[in-house]
Structure 1
Amino acid sequence: MNLNLATIRIKNLRLRTYIGINEDEIKNQQDVVINILIHYDAKQASDTDQMQDALNYKTITKAIIRLVEDNRFSLLEKLTADILAVAAEHPSVTFAEAEVDKPHALRFSDSVSLALSCTKD
């Protein structure tokens, strides 16, 4: 049995940040909902059962929280790209995807979202 590839999903991370270009958006924080998908080689962690051999999703999540809450963004593209960079930073990550929802951004819509992904060789 080959259990090398792991998938981590961070689901519905709800944060507040400054996001947008309208005057109201520049002055007031808004809710964002973040979903992250990370693939990494988990063979060593599966074999050893040691935290130092695994990808620490708590560390990644804390870094994303700091990034989102401590900065201002005009565009969902920039916010999503910066989150993706944090998610894909670890050398064992082979693929990552980040999606950011901006609830109530459009009238009659639950949210607007943008997703970006990257593959590492």
Structure 2
Amino acid sequence: MSMLSPGLARIRIKDLRLRTYIGINDDEIRNQQDILINATILYPAADAVAVNEIDKALNYRTITKALIAHVEGNRFALLERLTQELLDIVMQHPQVHYAEVEVDKPHALRFAESVSITLSAEQPQRG
């Protein structure tokens, strides 16, 4: 995971529980299932801290609404694909330096609480 450098803020979206169509077997195609999303986002917050104004901050509410709309409005065969698409949504915001998205599929394995996929991305450093 990317180190938290001075001036960067770490936003964590924790345990966002949604329902969607995820999987490849007949039962999964017919029935929505719970998924659990956790995201970590690093962005430079110096301006937001200095002026204490929302338009200088990364709007995590807007990002969360976009994640919800995407999950609830689509079907997914693979957890990997869903995770990548959610990461892509987060990375569309130019303020984001680094992001990590984890998606859990509860009870996907008989004796496990859940199975999860985690993917991360980093913006190229602007010179």
Q: Paired residue for 2:42?
A: 39
Aligned residue pair count: 120
Answering whether residue 72 of structure 2 is matched by residue 75 of structure 1, we say no
Q: Is the 8 A contact 1:14 1:32 kept in 2?
A: yes
For 2:95 and 2:61, locate their aligned partners in 1 and report how far apart those are by CA, in whole Å: 16
Q: Paired residue for 2:30?
A: 27
Give deviations 1:25-73, integer Å, cap 9, x for gaps: 0000000000000000111111111100000100100000000000000
Give the gaps of 5 or more residues in structure 2: none
- 1:25-104 correspondence runs (5 A): 25-104=28-107
Give the gaps of 5 or more residues in structure 1: none
Query: SS at 1:93's partner residue?
Result: coil
For 1:85 and 1:43, locate their aligned partners in 2 and report how far apart those are by CA, in whole Å: 24
1:76, distance to aligned residue in structure 2 (A) = 0.4
Q: Is the 8 A contact 1:103 1:111 kept in 2?
A: yes
Aligned match for 2:20, one of 11, 17, 31? 17
- Runs of 4+ in structure 1 deviating by more than 4 angstroms, as ranges, are none
TM-score when normalising by structure 1: 0.96
Report the RMSD for the aligned CA atoms in angstroms.
1.0
Partner letter of residue 95 of structure 1? Answer: Y
Instruction: Give the fraction of aligned pairs with identical amino acids, expressed as a percent.
Output: 58
TM-score when normalising by structure 2: 0.92
Partner letter of residue 8 of structure 2? Answer: L
Q: Is the 8 A contact 1:3 1:42 kept in 2?
A: no
1:3, distance to aligned residue in structure 2 (A) = 4.9
